[in-house]
Structure formats: C-alpha cells, structure tokens
Amino acid sequence: MKRATDQAVKDIAGHEGKTAHVLYHLSTAGGKRVFCGKQVPDSLIGQGGRIHFLDGSRILDGSLLLGEGAEVLLGAHDWIEDGGRFSLGAFQGLSILEAFREKELSGLTIAINNAPDMDGHPRMSRMLATEPFVGGRVDVRVGFSGQNISDVLSIASFTIRRIIERIESITIECEGN
Amino acid sequence: MADPTTDRLSDSFQIGRASRYAAPEFEDQSLPIIYGDLTIPSREKAGVYAPPKIDTAGDGVYCVAGHEIWGGVVLFDDDGRIEADNYTLELAQNFQGRGVIATAAFTTPPKGRVTAVCKGRKTAAGGLIENPAGIVHDLMASVWGFSEQDIDMQALARAATSAKGLGYRAGGIILDDHAPADVLTALLGDFLGRYEIDPFGRLKIHIAGGESFINAPQKVLPRFGQSHIEAEMARDTVINQVPALYARNYLGARYIKHDDGSATQNRSSQRLYGVRRPPKSPLRLEWVRRESVAATVQSRIVGRYHEPTRMLTIEDGSLRALEVEPDDYVAFSVPWMRSKKLEPLVNQIGEVIEVNYDLGEQGMELKIRDTGFFLTSSPLLDGTRILEGDWLLGAERDAATYA
C-alpha cells in the first residue's frame, strides 16, 4: 500500500470546504473500472502502472520494459446508487488514518444503477456478461476536490463474492480482505 | 392416487441375519448384500468386509453374500490370502433351506478373522450388475420387494444410458437395516444423480448426462414481461477442485483410496476465484471403487461449477401452469440480460431448479440455472442467403418468439 501523503492526512482529519469523493476501484481479470457516486475530477482517478509516451524523451536501450506494471482502465462511471457503509467501534488508535485502515471490515454492499446506455441496453448488464466481476477486488479510496492522484487515500479492500443483477440496478456484495 | 411408494421407501428394510441358521457364531451378524466388483482395488493382505460365520460345526461355514453372486471370491485370514484348497465355495446354495446365498465351507480352519472380496449380484443373463441404474432396479425389484409398476422404466433406461455413456460402474455393500430412500440417495448421489416419486407413485431416477442433445429443452417458456426477474452469481457456487475418498473398506469404515483432485482441477478458475472445494470436502464416494470413475465424477463437478453459475429467479404474479418440473431443460428469454457475446438473452437454455406456487398470494417463483447454451436457427439453403462469411451456420442464436 502506498504511503499516505501529508495532504491526505490533513484532508481526512478535517475537510471543511472540500468535497470528499469516494472511489470504488473494481479490478478483474478484464481490467479496472472506477465507480463513484458523482463525477470525479480526472486528477483523482489517474492510471496505474508506468505508461511512457514515445515522444523522444526516452532512449530505448534495454533499460525499460514497455508497459510493465500498466493497468487497463476500462472506464470511470458515476453510477453508484448506494456505496454501502461501515461503522467504527471503540477506537484506541494513535492516528486518524488508523481509524479507517486498522478496522477489520467484514463486508460491503454496493448498489450500482443499471440504466440503459445509448443503445438502450442496461449498461451494467453488458459489463457483467463479459467481465468476471465475481472474485474481483474492490478498493475503496477517498480523495478530495482540488487534490491529485497521489493524495487519494486507500481505506479498505474487499473481494466480490456475490452479484445480483436486476433490470434497474446491480447489487455487489463483497467480503473484507 | 394413493402414493404407497414414498412411504415404503422410507420404511426400514430388515436385512437378513445369521440368526436364521441353526448354529451361527453370532446371531446378530447381517448377511451382506453385495453389488459390483469389490476386487478393485486389488488387495493383498485382507478383504474389505467380514462375512458372518453362519455354521460353527466342523471348520465352519461363512456366508460370503446373502444372495447368489457372480464370483471372484478371495478370502483372507490373519496370515493373508487363504489358499482356495482350504475351503469349498458355493456361489448359489440354498443353505439349510433358508434361501439361496453364497457360502464358503472351510476344510482347514482359518486363522483369526476371515475377510473377503468378491463380485456381487448378477443379472438373470449372468452379467455382473454394475450400472448404478441397474443396481437401483435390482434393489427395487429383487431385494426390497417393489414391483416393476413402482418404477418409471423410461427414466430408468435413460439413467442407465447416461451412466453407461459416462463409464460409471458402482460397487458397494449393504450391511445393515436401512430405509431404501437412504440407499438410493447415497448411491445416486455418488454419480450426480437423484430420485423422485412421480405423480403416479413411481420411482423416477435421474443420472445427469452431458449437457448435449439429450437435454434439448422440453418447453419454451413464455416471456415474463411483467415479472420480477433477477440473476445471481456467487463465488460460493464455484468448485474448481474436488478431493475424493473412494473404494470403501467396510472393515473399519475407512476408504482405501484418496485423490486430492489435482488431476481434474481447473487452474484458470483457481486463478480467478481461488481454490474452491465442495463444502463437505473430501467427497466420500461410498459406491465408487475405480479410479477412472472417481476421476469422471470429479471432472464433471469441476466442469459444471468452475465458473459462477448464473441462477435466475422469476417471480410471476400469476398461477400459470408452466408444465415444467425440476431437472427439465427449458428455453427462456430475458432480453435485457446479455450473453457472453453481448446478444440479448433470448431462447437461452436453462435447467429448472425449483418451481414454487404461492396459493395465498397467487404467485409463482421459478428458479432456473443458465446452462450457457441457446437455441440456434436453422435457415434453409434455398438461395435466399448468400454465404459470404457473415453467418455461422448452425451457431446463430434463434431470436424467434415461440411463446
């Protein structure tokens, strides 16, 4: 897990005047999708791995593995209807970060809107048909408007154990890692 | 119609015991009912069951089976395999006028406990009964006292064909009083089969064959326009490795053979979902004795469950009679769902798991397992189509509406 930046710690401790964005990174064998409840600035999503543009700034002398560690970002979707919740019990930690990170999370349930896409097909149903969501991983991250990808804080990680598909919405049930 | 079959299947069947003879060693010992080839896997030091000593006179007479058997008898004592010269074998003997059994009368006394292997009951034509469906028929008609009218012979023949096609051969011993229902459940369950009592009170058995033309859908379901439909996929339905115990040793309630399932595991499924075994692992295959049969059962379970199963629940606010029952294959349509090729899920083939009617609320709930197969169209090659590579003959989904 990457270290939290000072800005991330400051934001999570008190974020008056800033909007918190909760991001659900769903990683499957088919790639990664980011789901959220409202449109998120691109600066908070980013793309993992080392992407290098062959714009003359690098010499291909064998020191570089092109595409190494790259993730495929299939899309970012503001279709979350209910992002689930978890409660904090008695907290004996030393820092504000531990309030999120050190809790043992038993599960999370997310509801995603399955409204028709431009072709009139329920959009999540199309994805479920071709991408192996079950068994995939959900990383819950929090970022704040005005910040960038390095300040996005990862607060929990889950594995998808069950999906219920209905015409109006998709329910994704996860268990804590 | 009265349904006596269900009650009789649940009634305890009293197995024959040594007490019926004049001078047994222990009166409570049961006369074993034996099916299949117990000589597999081969044994060097001891058998797999202990035949009761039913006559203590002289060097003793042992009941190898409580009925006529095919043969293949090998007896063991504390020193290992007993020379065949030491006993006289009768594969079918009306001993003391108490019915035909298989006996071994010793001419030289054995040392310690006698154990045995053999090949069990045979057909009227003399063949060893090994097909699981054949065993069900023999138990029903020749052991438990049911008649042919109590059995759905068509379903039995289909199950026998499925079992034969998959190379299933069963072997096992019944050693105690039992309800026939329990034996049927254990026997058929080992071969991914099951039984039910049909509306005519007949025993109807199923042994799942391959999902092929045999399971062509019996019915096209209507499109459930106003119904509540949902599909569920759960990681817990995935099984990608099946450890199994088989070849039961009846001397100590143990199993002779174990397989960890690594030969039949599905590695790509394990990479996606982790190693997932059946809830009660290892499987205890009481009626399986051969490695090849165990491997078939293991691979069929993995083949069917290595991906999460899409299970559809359709709740309809009517009491419409669909004329389907569990295990039927049907064609169904839920156009807003998608296939792996992103086609609308039309004329998809599913297996009926449950049909429930709620008489109070006047509603119906139908559970269907999506097989991944679908009805295909079959165009006539009458000159109306140009074969220019944009068509997969025989592999295109049939989008017609039939109901």
Q: pLDDT over 70 for what percent of chain A?
A: 68
Q: How buried is residue B389: exposed, middle or buried, by Cβ count under 10 Å (0-12/13-18/19+)?
A: exposed
CA distance, residue A11 to nearest chain B CA (Å) = 36
Q: Is there a domain that residue B403 lies in?
A: no
Contact B233 A162 (CB under 8 A): yes
Q: Is there a domain that residue B67 lies in?
A: yes
Task: Verify that B116 and B35 share a domain, yes or no.
Answer: yes
**Domain limit, last residue, from B305, B337, B360:** B305
Name residues 113-152 of chain B within 8 A of A (Cβ).
Answer: none
Q: Is there a domain that residue B145 lies in?
A: yes
CA distance, residue A117 to nearest chain B CA (Å) = 12
pLDDT higher for A165 or B401? A165
Task: Verify that B29 and B142 share a domain, yes or no.
Answer: yes
Task: Verify that B101 and B200 share a domain, yes or no.
Answer: yes
Task: Verify that B168 and B71 share a domain, yes or no.
Answer: yes
Contact A134 B274 (CB under 8 A): no
Q: What CATH number corresponds to the domain at position B338?
A: 2.40.240
C-alpha dist (Å) from residue B257 to A162, B280, B288, B367: 35, 17, 10, 37
Structure tokens at B273: 């979902």
Instruction: Give residue-wise pLDDT tens across range A74-132.
Output: 888 999 999 887 655 555 555 555 655 555 567 889 999 999 988 888 999 999 999 98
The tally of CA atoms less than 13 A away on the side-chain side of residue B98 is 17
Domain-by-domain residue ranges, chain A?
Answer: 1-38+75-84+121-177
Contact A164 B230 (CB under 8 A): yes
* Range A47-55 average pLDDT: 57
Is pLDDT of A18 > 80?
no
**Domain limit, last residue, from B208, B243, B267:** B208
Highest mean pLDDT of the ranges A28-32, A43-47, A64-68, B274-278: B274-278
Closest Cα to residue A110, out of A152, A149, A48, A161?
A161
CA angle B275, B276, B280 (to 5 degrees): 135
Contact A164 B231 (CB under 8 A): yes
Closest Cα to residue A21, out of A80, A71, A75?
A80
Q: Is there a domain that residue B402 lies in?
A: no
Chain A residues closer than 8 Å to B338 by CB:
121, 125-126, 128-130
Helical H segments across B30-152, by residue range: 132-138
CA A163 – CA A129 distance, rounded (Å): 12
Average model confidence (pLDDT) across chain A: 78
Q: From the candidates A26, A28, A109, A125, which should be mutated to test the interface with B, based on the most B CB atoms within 10 A?
A: A125
Q: Is there a domain that residue B332 lies in?
A: yes
Specify the amino acid at residue B337: M
Q: Print pLDDT tens along chain B (403 aa).
A: 445 567 789 999 999 999 999 999 999 999 999 999 999 998 889 999 999 999 999 999 999 999 999 999 999 999 999 999 999 999 999 999 999 999 999 999 999 999 999 999 999 999 999 999 999 999 999 999 999 999 999 999 999 999 999 999 999 999 999 999 999 999 999 999 999 888 788 999 988 776 554 567 888 888 776 789 999 999 999 999 999 999 999 998 899 999 999 999 999 999 889 999 999 889 999 999 999 999 999 999 999 899 999 999 998 877 677 778 887 889 999 999 999 888 899 999 999 998 888 888 788 889 999 988 899 888 788 888 788 887 777 788 988 888 6
Read off the DSSP letter of residue B45.
S
CA distance, residue A25 to nearest chain B CA (Å) = 17
Contact B336 A134 (CB under 8 A): no
CA distance, residue B216 to nearest chain A CA (Å) = 24
Chain B residues closer than 8 Å to A162 by CB:
232-236
Contact B233 A167 (CB under 8 A): no
For residues A148 and A44, the answer to whether their CB atoms sit within 8 Å is yes
pLDDT-based confidence at A52, cuts 50/70/90?
Answer: low
Chain A residues closer than 8 Å to B235 by CB:
134-135, 159-162
Task: Verify that B332 and B259 share a domain, yes or no.
Answer: no
pLDDT higher for A61 or B320? A61
pLDDT of residue A51: 54
CA B342 – CA B130 distance, rounded (Å): 45
Specify the amino acid at residue A4: A
Chain A residues closer than 8 Å to B231 by CB:
164-165
Task: Verify that B105 and B51 share a domain, yes or no.
Answer: yes
C-alpha dist (Å) from residue B128 to B15, B68, B71, B116, B135: 22, 11, 9, 18, 10
Complex-level ipTM:
0.75
CA distance, residue A133 to nearest chain B CA (Å) = 9
Q: B360: alpha, beta or left, given left = phi > 0 and alpha = psi -120 to 50? A: alpha
For residues B397 and B375, the answer to whether their CB atoms sit within 8 Å is yes
pLDDT of residue B387: 80
Task: Verify that B20 and B99 share a domain, yes or no.
Answer: yes
Cβ of B230 under 8 Å from any chain A Cβ? yes
Contact A163 B234 (CB under 8 A): yes
Task: Verify that B273 and B329 share a domain, yes or no.
Answer: no
Q: From the candidates B236, B315, B337, which should be mutated to test the interface with A, based on the most A CB atoms within 10 A?
A: B337
For residues B288 and B190, the answer to whether their CB atoms sit within 8 Å is yes
Name residues 302-321 of chain B within 8 A of A (Cβ).
Answer: 308
CA distance, residue B335 to nearest chain A CA (Å) = 9
Contacts of A175 (CB under 8 A, 6+ apart): A106, A107, A158, A159, A161
Strands of the sheet with B61-65, listed across from one edge: B53-55, B61-65, B100-106, B87-94
Task: Verify that B227 and B174 share a domain, yes or no.
Answer: no
Nearest CA in chain A to B236: A161
pLDDT of residue B319: 66
For B236, the closest of A121, A125, A161 (CB atoms) is A161
pLDDT of residue B218: 80
Chain A residues closer than 8 Å to B273 by CB:
134-135
pLDDT of residue A91: 53
Quote the domain boundaries for residue B130.
1-208
Tally of domains in chain B: 3
C-alpha dist (Å) from residue A59 to A50, B3, B240: 15, 84, 46
**Interface of chain A against chain B, CB under 8 Å?**
29, 121-122, 125-126, 128-130, 132-135, 159-167
pLDDT of residue A109: 92
Q: What torsion, rounded to 10 degrees, do the Cα atoms B236, B237, B242, B248 define?
A: 100
Q: Is there a domain that residue B54 lies in?
A: yes
Task: Verify that B241 and B292 share a domain, yes or no.
Answer: yes
Question: Over B84-98, what HEC string results?
Answer: HHHEEEEEEEEHHHC
Contact A121 B272 (CB under 8 A): no
Task: Verify that B223 and B251 share a domain, yes or no.
Answer: no
Contacts of B101 (CB under 8 A, 6+ apart): B31, B63, B64, B65, B66, B67, B68, B92, B93, B95
Is pLDDT of A1 > 50?
no
pLDDT of residue B224: 74
Look up the pTM and report it. Answer: 0.80
C-alpha dist (Å) from residue A165 to A109, A135, B77, B93, B110: 13, 16, 63, 65, 68
CA B316 – CA B329 distance, rounded (Å): 19
CA A152 – CA A143 distance, rounded (Å): 4
Task: Verify that B150 and B81 share a domain, yes or no.
Answer: yes
